[in-house]
Amino acid sequence: MNDLHDRLDRAADDTGRPVTTDPIELLGRARASRRRRQRLRIGGVLTGAAALTAAAALAVPLVQGDAGTPAESDPSLPAATGKASEPETAGLRDSEIVRRCEAQLQKYFAYPMYSPGKWRVAHDRQYAVGDLVQLEAGQFGSNPVLCVIPEKGQEQQDVPFTRFAADTSQPGGLAELCSESFTSLTRGEPWVDLRGAEVVAADGDGDVTVALLRLGNNYYSCSISSPTWDAGLTDVSTTGRGDIYFNGATTGSSNKSIVGETASYYTGAGLTDPLAERIRVTFADGTVVERPVGDDGAYAVMIRVPGEGGLLDHTTEVLGAGDRVLAEFAPR
């Protein structure tokens, strides 16, 4: 029964009182009332669009059958609980993070530099599902132990070590990896959340990546190597303008867990002379390598020298326009 017919029917009911209103007048009043309600509804749409949008997200659509009548409920569908499920956001407890990461940590124990322990979250920050998190067990390791926080019920999902490889083409992911790899035990420096840092220079390959990050007025040098490297090059620390010296490491089946190739790696990042255009490194065996310098002297250098023999002495030069030597650093 429609609204107008209902009003007329109630008006025609003289129970307890006589009909004193003309039916034509009742019809006019009913139409006027309906027009007023329509105007109010339209006004609500124009002035309360945000509220209606939010409400629409929570509304459960009515399944209609033929002729606009409600259809019978489908017994195969879950019953409504009255509580909308929400994705997990920041705020997971440390103990829950450790519990969810335990399965991922098992792959580390295949390598001699890792051993099981009482794990705890390394950094004091808010984490959510999908975030990268560093775990530590009190002992100092050569590389950080990392986990991608899984959804509840997905703890057994495999996360390979390749997930923790740095990619210079993905600055956001590189900054997050540097942030979680930051270990205050390295130099006693307080941890800094570098997830929002700007990557101002980067160099590397699939095995080793080095970057210079800027957060506010501060600069940070970040070197990332595979977690499967024994005594790898992973290191994050504050840096600034100054002399150029490189960290070094060698790889090979005899001293690096799964790296079969014998090679030497040299990494460094920081700020040099603002007029610099290139950095030239000359090794004792005659190998010469050059890397560009960015704005304001920002540089990130990763050099891989294949072959046996270990780390080589090298001389580093800072070059300006026309190959003018702005600075030179003795062999190390």
Average pLDDT over residues 227-256: 85
Closest CA to 149 of 235, 89, 191: 89
**Can you tell me the mean pLDDT for 287-294?**
95
Asked if residue 205 has pLDDT above 70, the reply is: yes
- Any idea which residue has 């009255």 for tokens? 82
Instruction: Indicate the pLDDT class of residue 231, thresholds 50, 70 and 90.
Output: confident
Rounded distance between C-alpha atoms, residue 26 and residue 34, angstroms: 12
Given a cut of 50, whether residue 124 has pLDDT beyond it is yes
Of residues 183 and 229, more confidence is placed in 229
Sign of CA dihedral 178, 181, 184, 185: negative
What are the strands of the beta sheet with 208-215, ordered from one edge? 198-204, 208-215, 218-225, 235-239
pLDDT tens, position by position, 50-70: 332 232 232 223 223 333 333
Residue 131 has pLDDT above 50, yes or no: yes
3-class DSSP state for residue 298?
Answer: strand
Confidence of residue 249 (pLDDT cuts 50, 70, 90): confident
The burial of 12, by beta-carbon neighbours within 10 Å (0-12 exposed, 13-18 middle, 19 or more buried), is given as: exposed
Q: Is the pLDDT reported for residue 242 higher than 50?
A: yes
Chain-centroid distance, C-alpha 244: 31
More confidently predicted of 115 and 216: 216
Q: Which of the four pLDDT bands, split at 50, 70 and 90, describes residue 46?
A: very low
* pLDDT at residue number 226: 85
Instruction: Report the pLDDT value the prediction gives residue 262, as an integer from 0 to 100.
Output: 86
Q: pTM to 2 decimals?
A: 0.70
Average pLDDT for 225-242: 87
**For residue 88, what pLDDT is reported?**
55
Residue 90 has pLDDT above 70, yes or no: no
Residue 191, φ and ψ in degrees, nearest 5: -70, 140
> What is residue 103's predicted lDDT score, i.e. its pLDDT?
95
Min mean pLDDT across 5-14, 170-179, 282-291 is at 5-14
| Least confident among 123-127, 131-135, 204-208, 267-271 | 204-208
Distance CA 227, CA 231 (A): 9
Q: What six digits make up the tokens of 115?
A: 């051993």
**What's the rounded mean pLDDT across residues 209-234?**
91
Q: Which residue has the tokens 């000359």?
A: 282
| Amino acid, single-letter form, for residue 146 | L
| Secondary structure element (H or E) that encloses residue 136, with its range | strand 132-136
Say which amino acid occupies 206. G
Residue 89, pLDDT score: 52
pLDDT over 60 (residue 153): yes
Kindly report the CA angle at 131 between 125 and 132, in degrees rounded to 5? 85
As a whole number, mean pLDDT of residues 317-323 equals 96
Neighbours of 198 (CB within 10 A): 12
Domain ranges of the chain: 89-164, 166-332
Per-residue pLDDT at 97 exceeds 60: yes
Going by pLDDT thresholds of 50, 70 and 90, the confidence category of residue 141 is: low
Which sign does the torsion angle of CA 143, 148, 149, 153 carry? Answer: negative
Q: Pick the more confident residue, 76 or 276.
A: 276
pLDDT at 259: 73
Higher pLDDT, 48 or 104: 104
In contact, 284 and 313? CB cutoff 8 Å: yes
Fold observed for domain 166-332? Immunoglobulin-like (2.60.40)
Residue type, 68: G
Q: Say which residue, 52 or 94, is predicted with more confidence.
A: 94
The mean pLDDT value for 160-173 works out to 92
pLDDT of residue 321: 96
Q: CA 209, CA 321: separation in Å to the nearest integer?
A: 27
pLDDT at 18 over 70: no
Which residue type is seen at 277? E
